[in-house]
Amino acid sequence: MDVESLRKYGFKTGKEWAAQGERCFLPEVGMSYQYEWFHVFAMDEEEPEKIAYTSDEFSIPRMQLYVRDRHVRCSCSVEGTYHIDNDDMEPLFTVLFNMITDGILEKAEV
């Protein structure tokens, strides 16, 4: 997988998200070790250019896909609700579907 091709699907490096002022990557939050990884997030419904967080209190993204060591990983954080369902996950499912359809992802050997 050519990680630079991930940009087509909305992925940016943690460093780029930090440059946009996204609070999950502020130095005091301690996520700078993820600056070189590529990330795509579920975005806020009211401010679509901003990442959706679990709450206003914490800098925890609600849902994300990220690429680390050439593997795509998914992370969901639930707060203020008892679950995250398909409607919530659809934006990230769409990213995965498009990546699979375009042949950018392949099944990893386990």
Residue 33, C-beta contacts closer than 8 angstroms, at least 6 positions apart: none
| pLDDT one digit per residue (tens) for the chain, 110 residues | 677 889 999 999 999 999 999 999 988 888 889 999 999 999 998 999 999 998 888 888 988 999 888 788 888 887 766 667 667 788 888 999 999 899 888 777 76
Give the pLDDT of residue 39: 95
Torsion angle of C-alpha atoms 7, 71, 51, 25, degrees rounded to 10:
-100
Show the tokens assigned to 72. Answer: 């795509």
Give the pLDDT of residue 21: 92
Give the pLDDT of residue 91: 84
Element spanning 97, H or E: helix 86-101
Give the pLDDT of residue 11: 94
Print the SS3 string covering 4-26: HHHHHHCCEEHHHHHHCCCHHHC
Is residue 102 a contact partner of residue 94, using CB atoms and an 8 Å limit? no
pTM of the shown model: 0.84
Max distance between CA atoms of the chain, in angstroms, equals 40
Which sign, positive or negative, has the C-alpha torsion 46, 84, 86, 23?
positive
